Structure 1
Amino acid sequence: MDVKRAKDIYSSKEMFSVHLDGESVWIEHVDEQNGMATVQVGSSPGNTRTVGVDRLEEQGY
């Protein structure tokens, strides 16, 4: 995924299926300048990771 798409998903009111290494994630923040995203893995709010947006995959896109 690229930074623009990650930002679009983050800003959208719609729900999108996004995965990181096969796990479902929610995008919580996108750092456009560095090409990074903070994501919540699964349903646990405390389980967050900051990764390159190129590691994120939109399912069904």
Structure 2
Amino acid sequence: MKTERAKEIYQSKDTFSVRLEGKPVWIENVDETNGMATVQIESNPLNTATVSVDRLQEED
């Protein structure tokens, strides 16, 4: 995924299906400067990770 798209999803009021290595994630923040995103993994607020946005995949 590109940084611009991750930012669009993060700012949208709509819900998008995004995955990290096959696991569903919720984008909590996007660092455009560094191309990184903080995500919540599998709806668990205690399970977060900061990853490169190019590791995220949007499902159709």
Unaligned 5+ segments in structure 1 are none
Partner of 2:28: 28
Percent sequence identity over matched residues?
Answer: 63
Q: Which runs of 4+ in 1 moved over 2 A?
A: none
In the TM superposition, residue 43 of structure 1 has moved relative to its aligned partner by 1.5
- CA distance in 1 between counterparts of 2:43 and 2:25 reads 8
Q: Deviations over 1:12-58 (max 9, x none)?
A: 00000000000000000000000000000012101000000000000
Q: CA RMSD in A?
A: 0.3
- CA distance in 1 between counterparts of 2:55 and 2:20 reads 6
Unaligned 5+ segments in structure 2 are none
Partner of 1:18: 18
Number of equivalent positions: 60
